[in-house]
């Protein structure tokens, strides 16, 4: 129960324990935080947010800088001061840059964990001269935003409150995940909005959908091409909008001739008439909206699938209605301007790893848009949340092979890099060859166990911030509620400390986070103290591309993408069958009879985080493989049995959960599991990361990647088998205690 009284005050916070960024009220009485609660709908908060006190006060939280004085992974940690840590890290960075060049330094970051970095990570990287920034966002939202940009010149954001029809593409917001959006969905359905769900499983939202299409894993793009075919063929599109605002409709119409309803039904396994009915409902019940979700972000057809979503809302005329175009807030100093991309030379930009093979997410992919963005928004470089990124697989390959050049230092800023990308075995090999690994985090993660230095990070309640989730639009306000525990510091304090020691102090003139925020709001003649009581900053008039023209080469919404065409990619969406499916590899499917789906998030953790929190761990105590009972019987395993799940790339350990909702012939694999209570180090497989994490079974090879962005396929394109862990194996006894 939250106490209230004359000493009570409310502060605005943005919960960043997952990627929904829910705005919450922090209720403070007498300077003591009493609890967090949502602003309107009491359901718009999940148990992860309610675990804040356990997180902040957890006995395993890192509170002081540490240095490993043994070999890599030896766990010979000694406490050191921040000054010693920064002095030594800066000296080693200078040495590595002097020997191998600035491109030999890479950064891995996860935005939620370092929320509100205000562009300082990329600023630091650009000033030292390295283009090799990577993030888990390359396969989760970041890649979506680059596809939006190729279509619209900017990002779009859904508005469920004005939608009459909602299409969920594998997305399933509920109280455990995306609680804020789940509450918005509830409100929309309560006022009569229609719901269409594409999901192989009968999810919570599929049960209440007007139309549920239980498609085959990995065929979402084919389904959406079928929607487009029906809408165009039956002339359900907005002809006036298409004629006025779009480019390439005739070419799109011709491409859609390849995707008849019968063909789409055969690919997806759904009824042709149901597909047509869903397409008609989307087009005619509008305005309709497609909320972002990570399902299409992680498929071999990722770019084409996201393009299909963009094209659906475009030809139906919903852009500018419930799909809002985002633009930089003119009253704020934009994050992109703070990042100083102009300071990174063209020569260094051209060294960005992976850009030659997978251009769209890279600096190379931005070049066709650069002039148009400046024309419309007045900003030459517009970062839409992790734009201009190196390809992670290429970065880790360079660590292993020194090709095309060495990468010798990795800064992990709120990132568990060992576990956060695919091909964990290859990542480990690359990390073991590093001359410097720095981790900034709350926990001694498996990546931190391999580090030279581990630095204590603040928690979202312990820092002020402005939050731009997609790099455009206004900004959500995050007030500081608590003082950081121990010697925990903000990311800005870390980066400024390094910059000051590397001759870059003039580029980091702000003494602390609040001074940096003063600068960001100064265009409006304000200071941070003047605006921190607001929930959102975004009142100034923003650019409307429907009036000014779009920030694309043609000035229109590009149904036919001249951007992709200039990059040597297919300018129109397409569907291709993933390499490892029973249809494409029937002989392999006899040996590996299960199709892998990595996803369907656990309710009580996020990525590789929160497994330490006891109240949450009770909800999801161990990593589970969901198997249909018939598949379990065929594999000779039963509910609750620990098994090896093996692909052609590697194997991992999971506990079987027999689930009649899981489609036969498939297996659900969770992401990001390790066992924090297991002692760190090699003896326990880096606290279980080398046994339980999905990246052990996922390859980073080209055949398993999206052609335009190099996004790895996690959704229905890998074959697997399961078999029991036996009592004779060394791991058996440990598993019995989980």
Instruction: Write out the catalytic residue numbers.
Output: 19
Element (H, E) at 10: strand 8-15
Element (H, E) at 487: none
Note whether 344 and 131 are within 8 A (CB). yes
Whole-number Cα distances in Å, 57 to 61, 244, 260, 288, 486: 7, 57, 58, 44, 11
Q: How many CB atoms are located within 10 Å of the residue 53 CB?
A: 14
Residue 488, both tokens: 């925990």
Rg (CA), the chain: 25
Note whether 575 and 300 are within 8 A (CB). no
Residue 519, both tokens: 């600068």
End-to-end CA distance of the chain: 33
Nearest-angstrom CA–CA distance, 393 and 399: 10
At a CB cut-off of 8 Å and minimum separation 6, what does 602 contact? 619, 620, 670
Exposure on the CB side of residue 37, measured as CA atoms within 13 A: 13
Nearest-angstrom CA–CA distance, 332 and 327: 12
| DSSP code string of 96-120 | HHHHH-GGGEEEEE-GGGG---TTH
Question: How many Å separate Cα 421 from the centre of its chain?
Answer: 11
Torsion of CA 25, 29, 30, 32, to 10 degrees: -70
627, β-bridge pairs: 658, 667
Residue 236, both tokens: 């359900």
Question: In 3-state terms, what secondary structure has residue 409?
Answer: strand
Of 735, 649, 648, the C-alpha closest to 691 is 735
Number of H helices, E strands in the chain: 29, 27
Nearest-angstrom CA–CA distance, 361 and 705: 14
Whole-number Cα distances in Å, 51 to 57, 60, 244, 444, 619: 10, 15, 50, 19, 13
Question: In 3-state terms, what secondary structure has residue 238?
Answer: coil
Beta pairing, strands 475-478 & 465-467:
antiparallel
């Amino acid at each position: 129960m939250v106490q209230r009284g004359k000493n009570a005050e409310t502060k605005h916070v943005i919960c960043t324990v997952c990627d929904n960024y829910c705005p919450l009220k922090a209720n403070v009485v007498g300077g003591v935080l009493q609890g967090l609660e949502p602003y309107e709908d009491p359901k718009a908060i999940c148990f992860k947010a309610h675990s804040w006190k356990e997180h902040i006060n957890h006995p395993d939280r890192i509170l002081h800088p540490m240095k490993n004085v043994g070999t890599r992974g030896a766990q010979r940690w000694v406490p050191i001061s921040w000054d010693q840590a920064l002095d030594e890290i800066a000296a080693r960075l200078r040495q590595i840059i002097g020997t191998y060049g600035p491109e030999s330094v890479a950064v891995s970051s996860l935005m939620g964990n370092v929320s509100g970095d205000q562009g300082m990570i990329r600023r630091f990287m650009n000033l030292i001269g390295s283009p090799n920034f990577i993030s888990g966002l390359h396969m989760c939202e970041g890649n979506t935003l680059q596809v939006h940009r190729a279509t619209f010149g900017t990002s779009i954001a859904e508005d469920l409150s004005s939608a009459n029809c909602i299409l969920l593409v594998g997305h399933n917001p509920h109280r455990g995940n995306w609680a804020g959006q789940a509450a918005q969905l509830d409100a929309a359905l309560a006022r009569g909005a229609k719901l269409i769900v594409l999901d192989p499983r009968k999810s919570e939202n599929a049960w209440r959908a007007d139309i549920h299409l239980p498609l085959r894993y990995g065929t979402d793009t084919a389904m959406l091409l079928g929607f487009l075919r029906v809408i165009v063929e039956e002339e359900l599109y907005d002809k006036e909008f298409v004629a006025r605002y779009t480019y390439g409709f005739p070419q799109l119409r011709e491409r859609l001739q390849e995707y008849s309803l019968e063909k789409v039904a055969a690919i997806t396994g759904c009824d042709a008439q149901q597909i047509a009915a869903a397409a008609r409902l989307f087009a005619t019940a509008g305005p309709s909206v497609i909320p972002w979700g990570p399902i299409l972000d992680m498929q071999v057809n990722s770019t084409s699938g996201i393009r299909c979503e963009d094209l659906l809302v475009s030809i139906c005329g919903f852009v500018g209605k419930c799909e809002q175009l985002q633009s930089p807030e003119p009253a704020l100093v934009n994050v992109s301007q703070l990042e100083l991309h102009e300071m990174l030379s063209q020569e260094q930009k051209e060294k960005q790893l992976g850009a030659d093979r997978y251009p769209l997410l890279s600096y190379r992919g931005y070049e066709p848009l650069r002039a148009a963005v400046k024309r419309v928004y007045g900003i030459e470089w517009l970062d839409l949340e992790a734009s201009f990124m190196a390809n992670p697989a290429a970065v880790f390959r360079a660590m292993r092979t020194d090709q095309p050049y060495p990468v010798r230092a990795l800064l992990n800023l709120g990132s568990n890099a060992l576990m956060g990308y695919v091909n964990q075995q290859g990542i480990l090999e690359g990390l073991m060859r590093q001359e410097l690994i720095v981790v900034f985090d709350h926990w001694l993660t498996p990546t931190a166990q391999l580090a030279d230095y581990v630095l204590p990070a603040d928690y979202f309640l312990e820092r002020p911030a402005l939050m731009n989730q997609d790099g455009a639009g206004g900004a959500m306000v995050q007030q500081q509620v608590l003082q950081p525990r121990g010697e925990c510091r903000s990311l800005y304090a870390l980066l400024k400390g390094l910059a000051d020691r590397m001759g870059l102090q003039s580029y980091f003139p702000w003494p602390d986070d609040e001074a940096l925020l003063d600068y960001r709001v100064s265009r409006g003649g304000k200071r941070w103290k003047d605006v921190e009581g607001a929930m959102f900053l975004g009142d100034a008039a923003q650019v409307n591309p429907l009036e000014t023209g779009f920030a694309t080469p043609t000035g229109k919404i590009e149904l036919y993408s001249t951007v992709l065409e200039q990059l040597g990619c297919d300018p129109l969406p397409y569907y291709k069958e993933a390499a490892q499916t029973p249809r494409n590899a029937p002989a392999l499917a006899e040996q590996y009879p299960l199709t892998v789906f990595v996803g369907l998030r656990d309710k009580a953790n996020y990525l590789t985080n929160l497994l330490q929190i006891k109240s949450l761990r009770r909800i999801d105590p161990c990593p589970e493989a969901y198997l249909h009972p018939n598949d379990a019987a065929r594999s000779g395993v039963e509910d609750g049995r620990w098994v090896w799940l093996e692909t052609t790339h590697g194997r991992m350990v999971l506990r079987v959960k027999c689930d009649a909702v899981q489609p036969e012939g498939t297996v659900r694999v969770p992401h990001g599991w390790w066992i924090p209570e297991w002692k760190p180090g090699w003896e326990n497989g880096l606290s279980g990361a080398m046994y339980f994490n999905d990246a052990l079974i996922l390859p980073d090879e080209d055949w398993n990647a999206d052609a335009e962005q190099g996004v790895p396929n996690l959704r229905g394109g890998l074959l697997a088998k399961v078999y029991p862990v036996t009592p004779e194996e060394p791991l058996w006894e440990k598993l019995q205690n989980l």
